[in-house]
Amino acid sequence: MSVAVESAGYGYIGRSMRSLLGGKRVWMLVLPAFVFFLIFFIIPVASLFLISLDKPTLGTVDVQWQFTLKNFIRFFSRALYYEAAIRSIGLAALVSACTLALGYPLAYFIAKTKNPGRNTFYMILVLCAMQLDMVIRLFGLMVLMGDNGLINGILRAVGAIGDKPLGLMYNYFGVVVGLVQFTLPFMVLSLIGIIRGINPSLEEAARSLGGSRWTVFWKITFPLSMPGILAGTLLVFAISISSYVVPALMGGWTVVVMPIHIFQQINEMGKWQFGATIAVILFITSLVAVYIYQFFAARTAGGRA
């Protein structure tokens, strides 16, 4: 009997050691990603917060440990800056709505295509838009939408407009088109997997109970795809609110958003502390806006999002 007890004890110790070593192996897998996240995200963001609270000093990048709120007071006391924050949020929300309206039908069509060959072809078309660099794609839009571009040239040729071209660029409309063109594939890819994962028997049951196609879509398909809608919208919102290249090229510096202010303060004026302050406010604004949207979207989805 003592031999059996000893064997049981050794077995328990062996299982405990294996469990402990297994836990260490899991931490060894997580450790590289954690170190990368710590070095290239947490430390830079923390440094940004410290610099934003530092005393304004022209051309100084290092933390001086002379904390003050002058930079934040300057931001909220001048309409030029807080209006840019409002403009950035409104622009990101509008782009998110446009990409959802354009991307959902396309994602639904691809997800419901059962032929593997055609489905792969459609996916390649969506991914092709992401292969080119963003600047190249924006220059293509500029060729299309410029004052002497293809659209205005065709309209002049058919006599639809006079000598004055349509203002398709260097305004709010041009920035929205540029951001929608850039972020649309992200929305489509976020929705395809969710729509494809919806059980077809649910739609068939609703149809068998007398529901029309539109009723089944709005009562079954659309609510069940809310997690994909939420993920795609949040991704598009985050990309749009932090975009600098699109407002600079398609807006022609006339649509001034927060990333443009950050560039001007740091690159042109050397005011790192105030530039960091704008970046911190942009970071916090993005987090708050995303949290508010997620809260209401989750309530709308009934807890599925």
pLDDT means over runs of 10, the chain (305 residues): 45 52 68 87 88 82 82 90 90 94 93 87 84 84 87 86 84 92 92 88 82 84 87 90 91 89 88 91 85 72 53
Q: In the prediction, which pLDDT does 91 show?
A: 93
In a domain, 253, yes or no: yes
CATH number, position 106: 1.10.3720.10
Beta bridge partners of 67: 54
Q: In the prediction, which pLDDT does 22 show?
A: 56
Q: In the prediction, which pLDDT does 191 show?
A: 92
Q: In which domain, by residue range, is 225 found?
A: 78-300
How much is the pTM? Answer: 0.82
Beta bridge partners of 54: 67
In a domain, 59, yes or no: no
C-beta of residue 247 within 8 angstroms of C-beta of residue 259: yes
- Token duo for residue 160: 């639809």
Query: How many distinct structural domains can be found in the chain?
Result: 1
In a domain, 21, yes or no: no
C-beta of residue 260 within 8 angstroms of C-beta of residue 253: yes
C-beta of residue 174 within 8 angstroms of C-beta of residue 145: yes
- CA geometry: angle 83, 44, 53, nearest 5 deg: 55
Q: In the prediction, which pLDDT does 286 show?
A: 82
Cα Rg of the chain (Å, integer): 26
In a domain, 185, yes or no: yes
Q: In the prediction, which pLDDT does 24 show?
A: 64
- Token duo for residue 50: 């410290």
DSSP letter for 34, please.
H
Please state the separation of Cα 279 from the chain's center in Å. 16
Q: In the prediction, which pLDDT does 217 show?
A: 86
Pairwise CA distance, residues 253 & 260, whole Å: 8
Q: In the prediction, which pLDDT does 1 show?
A: 47
Pairwise CA distance, residues 96 & 117, whole Å: 30
In a domain, 36, yes or no: no
Q: In the prediction, which pLDDT does 9 show?
A: 47
In a domain, 46, yes or no: no
In a domain, 218, yes or no: yes
In a domain, 277, yes or no: yes
| % of the chain residues with pLDDT over 70 | 89
Q: In the prediction, which pLDDT does 18 show?
A: 55
Q: In the prediction, which pLDDT does 177 show?
A: 93
Q: In the prediction, which pLDDT does 13 show?
A: 52
